């Protein structure tokens, strides 16, 4: 479960200057040499990621929780939908960042998850859910500038997520506590974490999404040692990657394996795009409509 492709991750961390997600040229990690059948790309509607006038808006609040595995107080951002009502129960999407980010990357670096979700709610295209955006770097120094390229900190995040953050969310927000109302997805490094943790903990997550997943993504045979269990317990395995992204093989190898074994799995190639928020915003927009 914890095997990580260290050389590739170190290459990524060296490229991620100024705490930005690195652009990965085709061929850097093997190029598009996995024979895979992509699912159809359907363009998102114009303005899906733009602030819209005259609609109700959700709120985003920064929370702090005590991490038992890390031994520190850690932070996460939580999106609450319009008219969040403590008398109702909500599903939860855990939305993870990349190697150059933290709990603010989706909000501040171009992901606009609050705007995307507000528009989806206004159009009645999503089920009731909150979105939790944690810091996926499970280390005492978890800042962007504090050694974010440390692969073990990302690899150990499931202990913090499952052992401390999820219990905090369930104690402090009005949410369901079963796996059928819990999803995980992320971009780049967070996409790899989502595939690793989501498929590795199917008792916790029923819906799994990977957006341009990085080389921390485990090989398919490691992710899915029990094919029949995945068929029975996973409700959605969904991926997207830019067609010009050098990391596309990380998702393609999993899609090819799933197709061979008869496991339902969606993998969309976003035309002509690289490793960027154009793809990741599209991923959130599409994935959010399919869960719960």
* Separation CA 9–CA 105 (nearest Å): 19
User: What pLDDT was estimated at residue 64?
Assistant: 98
Does the pLDDT of residue 30 top 50, yes or no? Answer: no
Residue 147 pLDDT more than 90?
no
pTM: 0.92
CATH topology for 6-18+29-290 is Rossmann fold (3.40.50)
| pLDDT(97) > 50 | yes
Query: Distance between CA 78 and CA 257 in Å, rounded?
Result: 34
Answer whether 273's CB lies under 8 Å from 242's CB.
Answer: yes
Residue 109 φ then ψ, to 5°: -105, 15
Cβ(199)–Cβ(224) under 8 Å?
Answer: yes
> What is the per-residue pLDDT for 10?
46
Query: What angle in degrees, to the nearest 10, is found between the helix axes of 189-200 and 248-261?
Result: 30
Token output for 56? 């109700």
Tens-place pLDDT, residues 112-140: 999 999 999 999 999 999 999 999 999 99
Q: Domain limits of the chain?
A: 6-18+29-290
Distance CA 204, CA 93 (A): 12
Q: In the structure encoding, which two tokens stand for residue 214, read together? A: 């990085």
Work out the pLDDT band at 1, boundaries 50, 70, 90: very low
User: What gap in Å lies between CA 214 and CA 251, rounded to an integer?
Assistant: 9
Q: Identify the CA nearest to 166 among candidates 47, 21, 49, 68.
A: 68
Beta bridge mates, 241: 269
Distance between CA atoms of 209 and 187, rounded to whole angstroms?
9
């Amino acid at each position: 479960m914890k095997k990580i492709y260290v050389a590739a991750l170190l290459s990524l961390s060296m490229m991620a200057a100024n705490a930005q997600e690195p652009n990965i040229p085709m061929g850097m990690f093997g190029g598009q040499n996995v024979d895979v059948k992509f699912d159809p790309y359907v363009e998102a509607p114009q303005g899906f990621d733009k602030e819209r006038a005259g609609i109700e808006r959700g709120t985003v609040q920064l929370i702090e929780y005590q991490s038992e595995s890390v031994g520190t107080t850690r932070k996460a951002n939580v999106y609450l939908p319009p008219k969040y009502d403590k008398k109702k129960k909500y599903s939860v999407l855990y939305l993870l960042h990349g190697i150059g980010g933290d709990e603010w990357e989706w909000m501040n670096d171009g992901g606009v998850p609050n705007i995307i979700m507000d528009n989806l709610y206004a159009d009645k295209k999503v089920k009731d859910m909150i979105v939790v955006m944690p810091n996926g770097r499970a280390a005492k120094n978890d800042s962007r500038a504090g050694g974010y390229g440390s692969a073990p900190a990302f690899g150990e995040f499931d202990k913090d997520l499952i052992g401390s953050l999820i219990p905090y969310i369930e104690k402090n927000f009005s949410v369901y506590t079963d796996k059928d109302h819990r999803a995980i997805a992320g971009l780049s490094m967070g996409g790899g974490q989502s595939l690793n943790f989501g498929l590795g903990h199917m008792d916790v997550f029923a819906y799994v999404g990977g957006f341009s997943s990085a080389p921390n993504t485990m090989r398919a045979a490691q992710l899915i040692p029990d094919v029949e269990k995945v068929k029975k317990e996973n409700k959605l395995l969904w991926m997207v990657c830019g067609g010009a992204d050098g990391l596309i093989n990380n998702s393609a190898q999993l899609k090819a394996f799933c197709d061979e074994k008869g496991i339902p799995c969606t993998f969309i190639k976003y035309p002509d795009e690289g490793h960027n928020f154009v793809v990741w915003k599209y991923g959130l927009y599409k994935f959010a409509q399919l869960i719960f």
